[in-house]
Structure 1
Amino acid sequence: MFAMIAVDLSRLAEDIIVWSSTEFGYVTLHDSWSTGSSIMPQKKNPDIAELARGKSGRLIGNLAGLLATLKAQPLAYNRDLQEDKEPVFDSVAQLELLLPAMAGLVASLTFNVQRMAELAPAGYTLATDLAEWLVRQGVPFRSAHEAAGAAVRAAEQRGVGLQELTDDELAAISPELTPQVREVLTIEGSVSARDCRGGTAPGRVAEQLNAIGEAAERLRRQLVR
């Protein structure tokens, strides 16, 4: 479990490292949770995230060591098991550092919502929504997939996004592509269209947040008993 927690933290850390880069710019690190560059004064280094990512290797190594210790042991207690103390205690100590550090880092992040909204439709990410919308209109998926591909090609030729294709251009690709398809050719429409349990619709996200909050509270009560 310790190694699995560390792997999850490393994945979160990697997202923060990438998202805070100039190329993405999704998040801004707080000064108190980052360090300055020794060469570039404008640069913020995501040290906590990088250290957390590195610590995952240490905890995975502890797990590998434990498994190697258990290899070929007969049932019941054996003196070999004296070797389990160091990796177990070290893993606990590392997580006691990592968990509050990552919690503080995430809590201090500033999310650049406008930048994320600008990049969300890049690369014709809404093509899937177009195909799914056609399927909901009764179009076979193979045909819907082909129509979505044709729409992407048409948009690429003009150098525009899918939402910028005219009604006539969409209808020429497929008669089923009526003006109503524009409901899903926005990021807001795409997100809201997935209105099922665990989906991205705002109401569903709120449900999951409430469920996670309740689960976390139950675990806290168990820990303080």
Structure 2
Amino acid sequence: MLVYSSLQLTTATNNLLLQSTMPIMTLVMPAVIFRERVALLHFACAGLSILGVAWFMTKGQLANLRLEALNTGDLLALAAVFLYAAYATSLRKAPQLHHLSLLVVLFAAGIVSLAIPYALHLLLEGPSALSLTSASALVFIGIFPSLVSYALFNRAVALIGSMRAGIYMNLPAVFGVLMAVPLLGERFEQYHVLGSLIIIASILLSRKVKK
């Protein structure tokens, strides 16, 4: 919810750059909370991943990168990154349930927590008209970026830990480019290739860190 709200108040550039700090967050938080040792190579990989995202955003012209002054939307984006990193870190303390059962519990908690702001929205703004396009988008978001992605992420954290899983969090930038070419008719440029290679290289390097 915070990410979608932040996009209404800040630029997509600011939002994407702030979200790219997720790998750093997932490294720092376990180190602070659980005193877990973090390899310097992990930090290097996280920094390299951010560089790949910045390369996308500037079309290969890093000197043109400008992060505008932080506004309310930026603070919401940072809060979303912090909470998601906290969520990934706390998964190690989750009850010993089947991963699908855990997902049901988490989604139930999410529905309850979102019911309050949704009720306030209905009270203040009234129900919104829902077009077929909007309904289709909501169904897609509810199934794939929410249900399926959380199920896979939870399982990944259980198998490799939040630190290793966090390094993968900038892959959506790569997938977004690959999907935009056939679906939106965008051109695949040279800076897309190099940005993708930088992000993928950060992931491959992170696998060199001993468990």
Q: Report the TM-score, using the length of structure 1 for normalisation.
A: 0.24
Instruction: Decide which structure has greater helix share.
Output: 2
Larger radius of gyration: 1
Q: Report the TM-score, using the length of structure 2 for normalisation.
A: 0.25
